[in-house]
Amino acid sequence: MKKVLSAALVAIMLLSGIFVFSGCGDKKEEKAGYNKEVNQYVVETNDKKGELSLEIAKDLNYETGSNVATTFRITSKDNMSEISFHMSYDYKTSATITKKEKDFYSEKYHDYAEVTAGDYKGWSIYYGESQYDMGLVLTEPDANNKVYGVTISVRKSPVMKEGMTFDVKEFVNSEDFKHMLDSLKFTVKTEEQTNEQAEQQ
């Protein structure tokens, strides 16, 4: 009888242990993902008919920089590095949207690659140690055979102060940059929304 009770107790303890460990696994899964506080930005197309939204972690300490035409820039307060977003609306075959590896044949260009960011496809290229560019096609060709696209550039500042450091490649491979790409969302506005916005201005 004692043997039966001992066996039963061992079985109960083993089962309890399994449940405890599986519970720990669930807690770890809940913590997975990107949990930083973010700032959200919106970039408009030059024809005001579309907009790109994105998120940047607040602790990266970027602020809105000088912005002209269809290029939106944010600048790091810590190291003067810059991320710019240049919107375009052009023919799909245009060099501003589609690039091939042969277009980058030069010693100063490195690591050309075709990339996918969420739903968007494009290319990426490193320019030495100072700059990284990524071009993404955001829409399917419309009735005019044109697509909306964005070029995202990460630049190391040439005027960094003493003690400032910034590694372009390290930043581009970071979880913060990956989250920014995952957060990209492009929307084409309706005619009604575009007219409404024009009236407000």
For residue 92, pLDDT beyond 90: no
Q: List, for residues 35-84, the tens digit of each pLDDT value.
A: 999 999 999 998 889 999 999 999 999 998 777 777 899 999 888 899 99
138 and 156 both lie in a single domain: yes
The residue segments making up the domain with residue 68 are 38-200
42 and 65 both lie in a single domain: yes
Domains contained in the chain, number? 2
25 and 58 both lie in a single domain: no
How far is it, in rounded angstroms, from Cα 87 to Cα 162? 34
CA angle 107, 98, 191 (to 5 degrees): 145
Give which of 85, 71, 184 is closest to 138, Cα–Cα.
184
6 and 67 both lie in a single domain: no
42 and 24 both lie in a single domain: no
106 and 177 both lie in a single domain: yes
16 and 93 both lie in a single domain: no
CATH number at residue 188: 3.40.1000.10
11 and 110 both lie in a single domain: no
151 and 83 both lie in a single domain: yes
How far is it, in rounded angstroms, from Cα 97 to Cα 104? 14
| pLDDT band at residue 190 under the 50/70/90 scheme | confident
Tell me the backbone φ, ψ of residue 29, rounded to 5 degrees: -65, -35
End-to-end CA distance of the chain: 87
7 and 58 both lie in a single domain: no
Give which of 88, 56, 61 is closest to 184, Cα–Cα.
56
Alpha-carbon distance values, 91 to 94, 146, 148 (Å): 5, 4, 9
11 and 57 both lie in a single domain: no
Q: List, for residues 133-186, the tens digit of each pLDDT value.
A: 999 999 999 999 999 999 999 999 887 777 778 899 999 999 999 999 999 999
